[in-house]
C-alpha cells in the first residue's frame, strides 16, 4: 500500500491487514488441530477447536467493523479500496474455513467409537497435509505480496480435488467390504468433503488477494477435478 499523508489512515489499513494474518494463522491452527484430533481420537483437542471458532468469529466481526468504519471515514480509492474490500471477502472465507474445521472436530467422538482402518487414516492425513500447505501458503503469499505465487497456489487446488476423489472411492470400498466400517467411513466422508471445501475457500482467498495486488481478476475457468459423482453413478 502507498503512503498516505494521514498517518492514522496507514495505521488503520495496517490493522486490517494484521487481522487477516491473525485469522489466517488461526484457520491453519484449527484445521491442523482438527485433523490431529480426528486421527488420534482426541476429544479434548477437538473441543479446543470448537471453542476457537468463537475467536475466529470475533476477529471477523472486528475486521468488518474496522473496514466499514475506514471506508466511511477515509473514503479510500483505487488500490486502498481494493485492499479494504478484499480484506472483507478474505475474512469471510477464513471464517468459513474455521467453521469447516469445527465441523471436523465435532465428528471426532463419533469416529472414535468405531475402528478406523489404518490405511484410511493415512489417506485422510495425506489429504489434510495438502490442505494445510494451501491454507498456510495463501496467507504467506498475501503478506509477502506475491501475486504470481498466488496464481500458482490457486492452480494447486486440483491436487486436493484429485486426492478427495481417491479418498471418496477408498471409503466406498471399505464400506462395501465390511458393513462394520459404514459408521466410521460415513463420518470420514464428511470430514474429507470439509477438507475439499477448505481448499475451495483457499482458492477464493487467492483470487481476492490477487485482485487486491494487481487490480486484475484471475481467469474464472479454473478446472475442478471431482469425479465423486461418477464414482457412485450406475454404469
Q: Where are the domains of the chain?
A: 3-230
Average pLDDT, the chain: 88
User: d(Cα 7, Cα 138) in Å, to the nearest integer?
Assistant: 28
Contact 177, 124 (CB under 8 A): no
Q: 172 Cβ partners below 8 Å, 6+ apart?
A: 231, 232
pLDDT confidence of residue 235? 39
pTM of the predicted protein model: 0.88
Residue written as grid cell 492514522: 8
Query: 131, 229, 118: which is closest to 174 by C-alpha?
Result: 118
pLDDT confidence of residue 155? 92
CATH hierarchy code of domain 3-230: 1.20.58.220
Q: What does the block give as the cell for 118?
A: 489404518
In whole angstroms, how far apart are CA 88 and each of 1, 19, 24, 58, 91?
A: 16, 10, 13, 14, 5
Neighbours of 159 (CB within 10 A): 16
Residue 223's pLDDT band (cuts 50, 70, 90): low
Amino acid at each position: 500500500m502507498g503512503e498516505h499523508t494521514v498517518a492514522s489512515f496507514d495505521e488503520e489499513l495496517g490493522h486490517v491487514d494484521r487481522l487477516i494474518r491473525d485469522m489466517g494463522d488461526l484457520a491453519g491452527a484449527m484445521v491442523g488441530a482438527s485433523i490431529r484430533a480426528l486421527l488420534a481420537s482426541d476429544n479434548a483437542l477437538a473441543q479446543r477447536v470448537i471453542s476457537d471458532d468463537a475467536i475466529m468469529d470475533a476477529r471477523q466481526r472486528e475486521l468488518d467493523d474496522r473496514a466499514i468504519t475506514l471506508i466511511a471515514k477515509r473514503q479510500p480509492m483505487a488500490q486502498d479500496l481494493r485492499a479494504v474490500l478484499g480484506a472483507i471477502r478474505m475474512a469471510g472465507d477464513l471464517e468459513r474455513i474455521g467453521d469447516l474445521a469445527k465441523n471436523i472436530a465435532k465428528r471426532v467422538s463419533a469416529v472414535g467409537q468405531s475402528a478406523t482402518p489404518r490405511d484410511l487414516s493415512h489417506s485422510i492425513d495425506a489429504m489434510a497435509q495438502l490442505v494445510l500447505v494451501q491454507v498456510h501458503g495463501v496467507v504467506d503469499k498475501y503478506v509477502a505480496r506475491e501475486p504470481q505465487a498466488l496464481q500458482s497456489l490457486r492452480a494447486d487446488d486440483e491436487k486436493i480435488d484429485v486426492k478427495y476423489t481417491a479418498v471418496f472411492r477408498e471409503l466406498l470400498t471399505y464400506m462395501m467390504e465390511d458393513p462394520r466400517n459404514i459408521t466410521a467411513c460415513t463420518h470420514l466422508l464428511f470430514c474429507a468433503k470439509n477438507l475439499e471445501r477448505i481448499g475451495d475457500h483457499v482458492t477464493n482467498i487467492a483470487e481476492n488477494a490477487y485482485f487486491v495486488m494487481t487490480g486484475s481478476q484471475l481467469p474464472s475457468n479454473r478446472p475442478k477435478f471431482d469425479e465423486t459423482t461418477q464414482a457412485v453413478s450406475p454404469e
